[in-house]
Amino acid sequence: MKVVIDTNVFVSSLLNPVGSPRKVIDLWRFEKITLCLSKAILEEYFELLDRFGLTEKPMGEQFLRLFQSRYNQIFVASPAAIKAVPEDPHDDKFIECAVAAKANVIVSGDGHLQKLKSYKSIPILSPAEFLKSFA
């Protein structure tokens, strides 16, 4: 299953190692889902991990190594621009990546994305909703 994961899910997974976001990330780490990425998404991941000082924690370091090794990932080099989230255009990158990678789902805790519920038949689910549907 191909999944786009919003940055807030990655950050939350490091801040709370027992919550739904960590369980979603663990699905990627243990090869149950394939992570879909674009340059813009990866840059945001790195920026926030660094800003919160999470790159210095063991799990943050592991994420960086996994990203760099392209572990269990589909990388979309230049997704087409899509204007789907007028309230927060920075969130468009997740929609763009999902469409280009033909992802099955977007997992996000972001209210602007969740408000859409789906984009072109790609559901947008919270981590908890995704885990329920994945089981």
Please name the helix (run of DSSP H) or strand (run of DSSP E) that holds residue 5, with its range, or none: strand 2-5
* Number of domain units in the chain: 1
Q: What is the CATH number of the domain that holds 121?
A: 3.40.50.1010
Reading the block at residue 17, the tokens are 């190692």
pLDDT(29) > 80? yes
Query: Is the torsion defined by CA of 54, 58, 59, 60 positive or negative?
Result: positive
Please say if the pLDDT value at position 67 is more than 90: no
Find the domain containing 31 and state its range.
2-134
Return the pLDDT at 17: 84
What's the mean pLDDT in 78-103?
Answer: 96
For residue 70, name the pLDDT band (cuts at 50, 70, 90): confident
Q: Provide the whole-model pTM.
A: 0.92
Per-residue confidence band for 46, with pLDDT thresholds at 50, 70 and 90: confident
Phi, psi of 15 (to 5 degrees): -80, -30
Among 120, 126, 114, 106, CA closest to 88: 114
Structure confidence by residue, pLDDT tens digits, 96-107: 999 999 999 999
